[in-house]
């Protein structure tokens, strides 16, 4: 019991530290003002990499944006794990079923290529001396040569998500534009907003492809409601997805301070 209390206090302090770091970034006079409606129509002929800690995160966090960008760009998605039991949900379909559902969802949402890294679910960690994992991640990304990497926000409370971001940021050291999305921790101060009103039905269809993975899971309804909130409050209509966007060098500097 004492250990559980200490862990909870640690996580709360950790979250507060991340929120403060994010606030300092978006209010910095040298950076973009909060909540700019992104002109995504200018993003053409780019190699875009989407990073999902688990299958379904790519749809939860940025499914509408993926669909919107898929018309004029090549999109690859890497899944760090193939899902599986968690402390909250022990009954889960097999990794083979989850991967099959991910492939169906990726086809619906407009992803051109999928890669399953197959790290252990709920046990993704970032250690600077873990050269084997970092080399593996770096090799995958070098082959893609992305202009844009869309990955979990550094604010995410889910440890698999925050560790995934650390792995990507520290494994691949080339220059690119980093787009951070939220799943378990909503982005309170986004730098950019993507209007996905026309893509919301496709996003919902992609979530439905995870029929067994998301069985009785309240997350799809919660995420769509959150997208509606961002749409109504940030662009005055429909549905939207929030992002924190910055160049990779700036992202690496920021994450070092967290």
Residues 217-245: tens digit of each pLDDT: 999 999 999 999 999 999 999 999 999 99
Can you give the C-alpha Rg of the chain in angstroms? 17
Q: For residue 21, what pLDDT is reported?
A: 55
Domain extent for 121: 19-256
DSSP H or E run through 248: helix 248-256
* Residue 4, in any domain of the structure: no
Tell me the per-residue pLDDT of 36-89, one tens digit each, with 9 for 90 and over: 777 777 899 999 999 999 999 999 999 999 999 999 999 999 999 998 666 555
Q: Indicate whether 10 belongs to any domain.
A: no
Residue from 46, 48, 57 nearest 105 by CA: 57
Q: What is the pLDDT of residue 33?
A: 41
153 in a structural domain: yes
Residue 230 is assigned to a structural domain of this protein: yes
Residue 162: partners with Cβ closer than 8 Å, 6 or more residues away = 152, 154, 156
Higher pLDDT, 118 or 123: 118
Percentage of the residues of the chain whose pLDDT score is greater than 70: 83
The reply to whether 57 falls in a domain is yes
Residue 88 pLDDT: 57
Residue 6 lies in a domain: no
Q: What was the pLDDT predicted at 3?
A: 43
| Per-residue model confidence (pLDDT) at position 5 | 39
Q: Grade residue 125 by pLDDT with cuts at 50, 70 and 90.
A: confident
- CA 170, CA 230: separation in Å to the nearest integer? 30
pLDDT of residue 2: 44
DSSP labels, 33-64 = PS-EE--GGG--S-EEEEEESSTTHHHHHHHH
Residue with tokens 């429909």: 238
Please tell me the predicted confidence (pLDDT) of residue 10.
45
Looking at residue 16, its pLDDT comes to 56
* 17: confidence class by pLDDT, cuts 50, 70, 90: low
pLDDT of residue 43: 92
Closest C-alpha to 225, from 204, 252, 256: 204
9 inside domain: no
Give the model's confidence band at 130: pLDDT under 50 very low, under 70 low, under 90 confident, else very high.
confident
Q: Domain count of the chain?
A: 1
Contacts 24+ apart (CB under 8 A), 2-7: none
**What is the per-residue pLDDT for 4?**
44
Mind listing the pLDDT tens digit for each residue in 155-194? 888 889 999 999 999 999 999 999 999 999 999 889 999 9
pLDDT value, residue 120? 87
pLDDT at 79: 98
CATH number at residue 154: 3.40.50.10320
- CB of 38 closer than 8 Å to CB of 194: yes
CB-CB contact of 206 with 166 (8 Å): no
**pLDDT exceeds cutoff 90 at 26:** no
Phi, psi of 149 (to 5 degrees): -120, 125
Structural domain contains residue 186: yes
Contacts of 16 (CB under 8 A, 6+ apart): none
- On average, the pLDDT of the chain sits at 86
For the chain, percent of residues with pLDDT exceeding 90 = 67
CA distances from 180 to 77, 107, 208 (A): 14, 22, 24
Given a cut of 50, whether residue 195 has pLDDT beyond it is: yes
């Amino acid at each position: 019991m004492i250990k559980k209390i200490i862990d909870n206090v640690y996580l709360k302090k950790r979250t507060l530290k991340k929120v403060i770091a994010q606030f300092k970034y978006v209010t910095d006079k040298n950076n973009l003002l909060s909540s700019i409606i992104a002109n995504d129509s200018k993003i053409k002929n780019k190699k875009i990499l989407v990073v999902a800690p688990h299958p379904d995160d790519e749809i939860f966090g940025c499914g509408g944006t993926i669909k919107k960008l898929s018309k004029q760009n090549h999109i690859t998605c890497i899944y760090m794990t193939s899902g599986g039991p968690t402390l909250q949900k022990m009954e889960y379909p097999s990794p083979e079923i989850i991967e099959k559902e991910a492939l169906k969802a990726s086809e619906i949402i407009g992803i051109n290529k999928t890669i399953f890294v197959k790290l252990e679910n709920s046990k993704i960690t970032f250690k600077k001396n873990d050269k084997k994992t970092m080399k593996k991640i770096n090799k995958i990304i070098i082959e893609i040569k992305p202009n844009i990497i869309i990955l979990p926000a550094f604010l995410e409370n889910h440890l698999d998500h925050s560790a995934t971001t650390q792995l990507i940021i520290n494994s691949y050291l080339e220059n690119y534009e980093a787009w951070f999305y939220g799943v378990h921790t909503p982005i309170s101060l986004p730098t950019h907003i993507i209007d996905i009103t026309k893509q919301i039905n496709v996003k919902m269809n992609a979530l439905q492809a995870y029929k067994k993975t998301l069985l009785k899971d309240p997350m799809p309804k919660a995420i769509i409601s959150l997208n509606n909130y961002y749409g109504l409050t940030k662009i005055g209509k429909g549905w939207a997805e929030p992002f924190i966007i910055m160049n990779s060098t700036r992202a690496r500097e920021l994450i070092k301070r967290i």
